[in-house]
Amino acid sequence: MKRSGYRSNKERIFEKIITKEGIQAFPANEGKRMLHNGKSVKTPEALIESRFYVDVKGKKFPYGNGNYWENYVSSDDIDGLLSWKSMSNKKNKSTKYASLIAYVYELPRKKKDLERAITELKRSKSFDMSCLYNSDGIKVDEKNLYKTSRKIYAMLAVDVSKYNKLKVPRSAAWNAVYVPRDEFRKIAVPLKSIFDKYKN
């Protein structure tokens, strides 16, 4: 997955990780909107493994003063992902399309803060160390986690249909929504586990 022009840090990290994992991804033209059911909707950032529409969000873990599991998105993101999923499933009955939000969580670098972040990540029922990578997109584990000089990222994802059912308003001015922390921990899973399940 190589996008032309400017790419944010979260996009660069995401691309490195999925490239190392051998996951096929095709970037989309985010500037182009689609008309669906008479409504203009946003185009997802990528199509992965030819059936997953994905938007990528970069967040700090924690964000601000100890706020873990930050996950807000715009209603426009949700509408776009659900619309592309619906449209594709209607047009192609042989493939079951899905839409995901991938979260690239940047973990703190200080050992004490990193240990707290890992402890918090483990509160998610689906968490395992396989979702941790360094800034080169290479997996890290508990043997080298606290020794690496590079930044550490946790790559998690949520099914947009589940997110949509649990979302609550965050900011009317920014048209933003989020899923409360306890509920979000239940639906966030390592991104690669979704693709491994699909391949198997």
Residue-wise pLDDT tens digits, 45-61 = 888 888 999 999 999 99
Is beta strand 168-171 parallel, antiparallel or unpaired with respect to 132-134? unpaired
Which stretches does DSSP call E strand in 61-142?
73-74, 98-106, 132-134
| Contact criterion met (CB below 8 Å) for 189 and 156 | yes
**Percent share of the chain, pLDDT over 90:** 45
Which two structure tokens, joined as six digits, stand for 188? 């966030």
Task: With respect to residue 72, please indicate whether it lies within any of the assigned structural domains.
Answer: yes
Domain that holds residue 137: 9-199
Q: Is residue 115 part of a domain?
A: yes
| Residue 3 maps to a domain | no
Tell me which residues of the chain have a pLDDT lower than 70. Answer: 1-7, 29-38, 198-200
Q: For the segment 6-49, what is each residue's pLDDT rounded down to a tens digit?
A: 457 888 899 999 888 888 888 776 666 666 666 777 888 888 88
The number of distinct structural domains making up the chain is 1
44 within some domain: yes
Instruction: Return the pLDDT at 95.
Output: 83
Is 64 inside any structural domain? yes
| pLDDT at position 173 | 87
β-strands 52-60, 168-171 pairing: unpaired
In a domain, 2, yes or no: no
